[in-house]
Amino acid sequence: MPPYSGWNAAMDLLMGTPTSGASARLRLAPISLDRSLRLRLMSYLARAGLAVGPFALITLSSARAPVSDTPAGETRPSASASRPADISMSELQRRLLAYADSLKSRADISPEKFGAAIGVSLVPDEKVSIRSVAKDLVITEGFNYAASYFSVESPRDYPRHSVVFYQLGKPSVTEAPGGVCYWDADSAGQALERLGYRGLGESPFKRGGIRHFWRPIGAGKKGMSTSLLTYRINDSAGLRTCVYEIAFSGGDM
């Protein structure tokens, strides 16, 4: 049997007809879309590389040259970022959801607007020239977080930017959850749906998964994407799925 590809996953997810083996690899959310919208979403997810996690990597088509969102002739300052005050997880979640709600057009996406929304200053990454970062920031519950913004895009896809939760000096929760749940995935997904995002199911990624959410803009021809990168734990509340990263992007459907 051939490997389950990103194209297979996009077809299964958007057409609602899983092929052999799909149900074991991809949990589908109920979707009721007209044919033209399904086909546009299928094209978008296929471009993003669904099987390996859309927006988890920059997956630009080789047929389209990436362009920077920084105007020609301008450079971003490389001044050191001022460390923000420690923040509670609930407040950080509130800011991230407010940012997701603010995304109505491409003009709403920039490193400055992203940083201001979550209360951090992003600075150029010394190792990756197309990325701005703020890292090793403190959450009052004893966790850490980092923000990153990739300032490249294709003519059809918006820049990817995200916030990841972790604990300094400890392994990733996808390898050793240790009973830690940064953000309950069901609660986060329901909050996004209240903002008008539509759940598009969950696909596997590394040792966890990605839950995809989409909100149409521009008369339905474009859309904003918010993705929840997830892992599973078994604690006193039972077996549940939690979020270790929230990623934003979007583009043509």
Tens digit of pLDDT for each residue in 30-53?
Answer: 444 454 555 455 555 554 444 333
What DSSP letter does each residue of the chain carry, written as one string? -----HHHHHHHHHHS---TTHHHH-BPPP----HHHHHHHHHHHHHHTGGG-TTTS----TTS--EESSPTT-----PPPPPPPPB-HHHHHHHHHHHHHH--SGGG--HHHHHHHHT---EE-SS-TTEEEEEEEEETTTEEEEEEEE-EEBTTBPPPEEEEEE-TTS--TTT--TT--SSBHHHHHHHHHHTT-EEEEEEEETTEEEEEEEEEETTTTEEEEEEEEEEEEEETTEEEEEEEEEEEEEEE-
Q: What percent of the chain has pLDDT over 90?
A: 52
Quickly state the pLDDT bin for 82 (edges 50, 70, 90): low
Whether pTM exceeds 0.75: no
Quickly state the pLDDT bin for 179 (edges 50, 70, 90): confident
What's the confidence (pLDDT) of residue 67?
35
Q: Residues 142-162: what's their mean pLDDT?
A: 92
